[in-house]
Chain A
């Protein structure tokens, strides 16, 4: 099946998302 793949830059950017606080 499909896998949910995230690259490092995307994950690092998500750190600053309001939902990540």
Chain B
């Protein structure tokens, strides 16, 4: 995927993935890989909007669906080389907010608003029955200064109230308990 003439290049190119889990099925690496598919890739602002305008918004997805927007070359999996020492910030949202906040997060990531160098790997929106969950993945779970900056930027771009609970979970812990959240 390449930026074409006249388009506005992004700092990174990205892949958008979609997954849907059969409710009740415990996550495992093999069925996760089978259930995830690439929706498209883009390298410019224009290519992003073309893709984004043609896909369903999170609020129109059925439960147990996820969008994963990751830098090109990084699989949205805990085991990926870029992710395996990393973790993610998790924000749980009441129903009805996910589409708007997901868009805010995506625009902040594409526009390089996090200011943490190469640290950001990707972002995920998870549509569930009673709540929706937004998360942003970074490379180095052990770097506290980076993590605080990611958290503060997330809070700002999502315009979250100061009392919002934000959890950080390392992918090592996710692998141990086979659970994303």
Contact = CB atoms under 8 A, between A and B. Distances in A.
Contacts of A20: 45-46, 49-50, 53
B9 A19 contact: no
A5 to B, nearest CB: 5
Given A3-B11, A14-B8, A14-B45, A21 B50 contact: yes
Contact of B46 (A3, A5, A19): A19
B2 to A, nearest CB: 14
Contacts, number: 49
B7 A5 contact: no
Contact of B107 (A11, A19, A21): A11
B45 A8 contact: no
Interface residues of B, number: 19
A14 B111 CA distance: 12
Given A12-B107, A19-B6, A4 B112 contact: yes
A10 B49 CA distance: 12
A10 B157 CA distance: 15
A15 B106 CA distance: 14
Contact of B10 (A4, A8, A10, A15): A4
Contact of A6 (B7, B49, B50, B112): B112
21 contacts: A3-B112, A4-B9, A4-B11, A4-B112, A5-B11, A5-B112, A5-B113, A6-B8, A6-B107, A6-B110, A7-B113, A8-B107, A8-B108, A11-B110, A14-B49, A15-B53, A17-B46, A17-B49, A19-B46, A20-B53, A21-B50
Interface of A: 3-8, 10-12, 14-15, 17, 19-21
Given A17-B46, A17-B49, 15 more contacts: A4-B9, A5-B112, A5-B113, A6-B110, A6-B111, A8-B157, A10-B111, A11-B45, A11-B110, A12-B107, A14-B49, A19-B7, A19-B46, A20-B46, A21-B53
